[in-house]
Amino acid sequence: MEQQPTASRSTASVARPRRDPVPPGVVSLALTSALEVAVAVSASILNFAPPSPIAAPPRLKLDGYSLVPSSTEQVTSFYGQWTYLPGAPSLVQGTQHFDIVDPRSDATVGDFDALVSRGNGYNYTSLLVTANDGTNVGTAAGQVPPVGSLIATFRFGPVGWSYSDMPAPSGNVISLALVTPFGNIPLRSTFDGAKGIADHTFDDRPIRLTNGYSIAPADPLAETITATSGVLPFWTSVQGRQVFGIFDPAGNQVNSFEGVFTTTSDILGTYTQAILVTGNDGVDVGTGTGQTPPVGSVFNAVYAGADTDYVLYSSLPTPTGAVVTVEQVNSGAVQTSPRTFIDASEPPSARPLSVTHGLTLVPASPLLPVGINGLPPREVQYQGYQQFDVYDATGSRIGSVDADVFIQHDLFGIRSQAVLVTDVTDGLAGTTRGDVPPVGSVFNVVTLGDSGFGTVQSVMPTPTRDVKTVAFSTPLGSVPVFYARKRVPDRIAVSFVDPFVDV
């Protein structure tokens, strides 16, 4: 169905693309890969051997009131330990209901639903408010935060910071404070991480392709927000799914597709949007101008402070190989990069994954994607659900599991895969050799291209302990470097989204 032209979806004319050396914006983006590797190494050292995500997270406060979970957290997705920004390393994502409790009287003064993201192994928690009953909603102390509010805290022992960003008629109310044992110290912050969430404008920016067409939500009010990540107040990511339209230069919708997306923004003024095509109606599908992109296509726009200046990446799979394009747009002028660096639409590997205790996880289903992140052409990150058969050291199948999965690969050829076991569907679960990994087990595997070198990290929970291992992988075999059984006194009840379970 065609739509009348609108100013928000029209595409400004651009100059004819010219063949140049790698554009400076693309070079800058690629060079940050080295910095991201350094950050990932540092995060891995600082958060060495993180726990199972069924360990209790820290509690939140808002303007002196306690935000107390009043439902079981439902885990929907996660990021592995080796994750580049704007993803967040070892971050668990889910949904939960919260009561607002006055700590002086223990009285509940309100409640709300929220998307939750929490650091696994470090004390970061953030909430994105998704629903409330409309009673006593506002930004004052003791009021229920409005839908679209972001609330976060980061603690290092007795110190840390708290951040909130709540929509209001006169503009979002932003608060940042240094948390100390002697009280909170207010700090100034202008980073508006919640900008556009409440009014649905955070994701309605058209991605302007250089062929005159653009990609934008078919209905700007119809997105479903599924997760939030980042570390506030430095950067934030909002993830979701929706139907996107393909619009011609006059603003008419000519095709559509289903996709998952992530928008990001940071304190330096950079903002991005990534889209992964997850479905279409099969009509007019192809890589030509105005056609519906194939399932598995990836688009990413990295904006340098203005909608007119951006690096545009696209990868569209075909039977003969992906059509990958990297371009830089500056106020209508287009430079096409001769280097595309990575194929973000490359199907996730179906190779077996060697983990701990001689166990091997063999994919038994395709990956069902629920999230896209990263900054292609630098790296791409997938989140999804997958089933695995479990084999022991003798090559015998001993069971099967359902899992949340995180996958990342970058322009250096470094690949990271993390698996969170959400259900044991066959076999005897346990933490000894020959057992199927129990629910709540996490495996982080990093491989350095095809060199055979990498790392394998695992944690498997018992009711009272986490069994942790770390090993180096080499072409000659695995070299164990760490083993521990750490007591966990405060397990929490969590549930896991599992599309493979019949309801």
Q: Is residue 211 part of a domain?
A: yes
Same domain for 207 and 182? no
Exposure of 6 in the CB half-sphere (CA atoms within 13 A): 15
pLDDT number for residue 199: 95
Same domain for 365 and 488? yes
Q: Is residue 31 part of a domain?
A: no
**pLDDT above 90 covers what percent of the chain?**
89
Q: Is residue 265 part of a domain?
A: yes
| Residue pointed to by tokens 């000519």 | 254
- The tens digit of pLDDT for each residue in 280-338 reads 999 999 999 999 999 999 999 999 989 999 999 999 999 999 999 999 999 999 999 99
Say if residues 438 and 112 touch (Cβ distance below 8 Å). Answer: no
Is the pLDDT assigned to residue 146 strictly greater than 50?
yes
Distance between CA atoms of residues 105 and 29, nearest Å: 52
Q: Give the structural domain span for 158.
A: 47-187
Residue 17 binned pLDDT confidence (cut-offs 50, 70, 90): low
The residue-averaged pLDDT of 73-90 equals 96
Say if residues 163 and 175 touch (Cβ distance below 8 Å). Answer: yes
Say if residues 115 and 93 touch (Cβ distance below 8 Å). Answer: yes
Same domain for 129 and 236? no
pLDDT number for residue 56: 65
Of the candidates 336, 371, 391, which is a domain's last residue? 336
Is the pLDDT assigned to residue 14 strictly greater than 90?
no
Structure tokens at 391: 């084999």
pLDDT number for residue 10: 40
> Where would I find the beta strands (DSSP E) of 211-359?
214-217, 224-231, 235-247, 253-266, 270-279, 298-306, 309-316, 323-330, 333-336, 353-354
Same domain for 316 and 366? no
pLDDT number for residue 347: 87
Is the pLDDT assigned to residue 501 strictly greater than 90?
no
Question: What are φ and ψ of residue 401, in 5° steps?
Answer: -140, 155
Among the residue ranges 102-111, 165-174, 328-337, 347-356, the one predicted with the least confidence is: 347-356
Distance between CA atoms of residues 106 and 16, nearest Å: 66
pLDDT number for residue 459: 97
- The tens digit of pLDDT for each residue in 444-470 reads 999 999 999 999 999 999 999 999 999
Average pLDDT taken over every residue of the chain: 93
Structure tokens at 266: 């940071």
Distances (CA, A) of 44 to 229, 383, 482: 18, 20, 14
Exposure of 168 in the CB half-sphere (CA atoms within 13 A): 14
Same domain for 377 and 286? no
pLDDT number for residue 18: 52
Q: Is residue 319 part of a domain?
A: yes
Sign of the C-alpha dihedral, residues 199, 497, 370, 273?
positive
Of the candidates 187, 218, 253, which is a domain's last residue? 187
Of the candidates 336, 365, 392, which is a domain's last residue? 336
The residue-averaged pLDDT of 37-58 equals 87
Q: What angle do CA 29, 457, 84 make, to 5 degrees?
A: 15
Q: Is residue 14 part of a domain?
A: no
- Type of residue numbered 104: R
Q: Which residue has the higher pLDDT, 258 or 54?
A: 258
The number of distinct structural domains making up the chain is 3
Q: Is residue 39 part of a domain?
A: no
Question: What are φ and ψ of residue 44, in 5° steps?
Answer: -65, -35
Say if residues 29 and 380 touch (Cβ distance below 8 Å). Answer: no
- The tens digit of pLDDT for each residue in 239-279 reads 999 999 999 999 999 999 999 999 999 999 999 999 999 99
Q: Is residue 8 part of a domain?
A: no
Distance between CA atoms of residues 503 and 498, nearest Å: 10
pLDDT number for residue 57: 65
- Type of residue numbered 500: F
Distance between CA atoms of residues 246 and 264, nearest Å: 22
Distances (CA, A) of 33 to 14, 123, 311: 29, 26, 16
User: How many residues does the structure list for the chain?
Assistant: 503
- The tens digit of pLDDT for each residue in 187-202 reads 999 999 999 999 999 9
Same domain for 73 and 180? yes
The residue-averaged pLDDT of 334-358 equals 93
- Strand 494-496 vs strand 73-78: parallel, antiparallel, or unpaired? parallel
pLDDT number for residue 19: 55
pLDDT number for residue 173: 97
Distance between CA atoms of residues 398 and 432, nearest Å: 13
Residue 5 binned pLDDT confidence (cut-offs 50, 70, 90): very low
Same domain for 389 and 259? no
Say if residues 109 and 142 touch (Cβ distance below 8 Å). Answer: yes
Helix, coil or strand: residue 348: coil
Is the pLDDT assigned to residue 154 strictly greater than 70?
yes
Same domain for 227 and 140? no
Same domain for 180 and 233? no
Distances (CA, A) of 222 to 217, 218, 240, 241, 442: 8, 8, 10, 9, 34
Contacting residues for 490 by C-beta, under 8 A, at least 6 apart = 55, 56
pTM listed for this prediction: 0.93
- Type of residue numbered 247: F
Distance between CA atoms of residues 42 and 317, nearest Å: 35
| Residue pointed to by tokens 């910095």 | 35
Same domain for 369 and 276? no
**pLDDT above 70 covers what percent of the chain?**
95
| Residue pointed to by tokens 């050291």 | 393
Is the pLDDT assigned to residue 4 strictly greater than 60?
no
Q: Is residue 20 part of a domain?
A: no
Structure tokens at 396: 């015998």
pLDDT number for residue 361: 97
The residue-averaged pLDDT of 100-126 equals 95
Is the pLDDT assigned to residue 12 strictly greater than 50?
no
Among the residue ranges 193-207, 363-377, 489-503, the one predicted with the least confidence is: 489-503
Distance between CA atoms of residues 440 and 364, nearest Å: 19
Contacts of 94-97 spanning 24+ positions with Cβ under 8 A: 94/494, 95/130, 96/69, 96/71, 96/72, 97/69, 97/70, 97/71
Same domain for 170 and 217? no
The residue-averaged pLDDT of 15-42 equals 86
Same domain for 428 and 319? no
